[in-house]
Amino acid sequence: MSNLWLDLGNTRLKYWLADDIGQIITSDAKQHLQAPAELLIGLTDRFDTLAPEFIGVSSVLGEEVNAQVAESLATLGIPFEFVHVDANHPLLTSDYDAGQLGVDRWLQILGAVDRKKRQCIVGCGTALTIDLVDHAHHLGGYIFPSIYLQREALFSGTKQISISEGTFTSISEGVNTSDAVHRGILLSIVGAINEIARRNPNYEFTLTGGDAPLLAQHLNHPIHIKDSLLLNGLMRYFDQQNQPR
């Protein structure tokens, strides 16, 4: 008995194949280059051989793409279900507009939620999200452009800044355009997360998403990195056996 869990984000398609006690058998993350349904078709042979009994899907790609993805999944002849935010879930309540909250943010919170804790969940994906959860009640949060989106915005929004390569490794002041851009962008995100931590001293911080390891290096307080938080949320949502790691 195995299940396939899909996370369709704005940059990458992630999938995990897990057994019925939530142990990961195989997983992968691929940039879908704005063609997730086509990428999925390319993966159907792999999914066929993995032969899951069920496919749980998280997608923030909108109804049109979701319909294409559903069409690709239907060719597998395996039951599948897209997750929708449940404002009255037994494990989690929220002040956020349930019709607007990204299902990935909601599942990341569901994957971490602990009613004995005050938690800050930071999603480090195409958009960077910060969500505050007080004893299993979601207070709300913030959305920022990721470091890459910020660099693209500077590139397209200015005449003289044509920086499109480079690494985000320091928040010390820069002495050339490329360093000033990369350090300024990194500082904007790291500074925001540190400010949220300063304002919420007794919150436990958990980072997830592709950029979590990069950002974590520059934070000046203890944090947890959990790269399978959304997966935990999917398994909890579909009521699979899994212990929060």
Ligand X SMILES: Nc1ncnc2c1ncn2[C@@H]1O[C@H](COP(=O)(O)OP(=O)(O)O)[C@@H](O)[C@H]1O
Ligand Y SMILES: CC(C)(COP(=O)(O)O)[C@@H](O)C(=O)NCCC(=O)O
Residues found near ligand Y in the complex (CB under 6 A):
9-10, 60, 100-102, 104-105, 123, 125-127, 129, 143
Q: Is 202 annotated as a binding residue?
A: no
Tell the smallest beta-carbon distance from residue 201 to ligand X (Å): 27
Backbone φ, ψ for residue 70 (5° rounding): -60, -40
Judged by beta carbon distances under 5 to 8 A according to partner kind, the member of ligand X, ligand Y, none in contact with residue 101 is ligand Y
**Per-residue x/- track, 116-135, ligand X (CB under 6 A):** ---------xx---------
For the CA atoms of 68, 71, 72, 76, the dihedral, rounded to the nearest 10 degrees, stands at 160
- Tell whether residue 210 is a contact of ligand X (CB under 6 A): yes
Backbone φ, ψ for residue 69 (5° rounding): -65, -40
Chain position whose Cβ is nearest to ligand Y:
102
Comparing CA positions, the residue from 143, 134, 88 lying closest to residue 113 is 134
**Per-residue x/- track, 12-51, ligand X (CB under 6 A):** x----------------x----------------------
Show the tokens assigned to 86. 């449940």
Distance in angstroms (rounded) separating the CA atoms of residues 65 and 78: 19
DSSP 8-class letter at 45:
H
Identity of the residue, 11 or 242, whose beta carbon is nearer to ligand X in the bound complex: 11
Query: Which residues, in sequence order, are CB contacts of 159 under 8 Å at separation 6+?
Result: none
Among residues 104, 131, 134, 179, the one annotated as catalytic is 104
Name the residues that contact ligand X, by CB under 6 A.
9-12, 29, 125-126, 148, 209-211
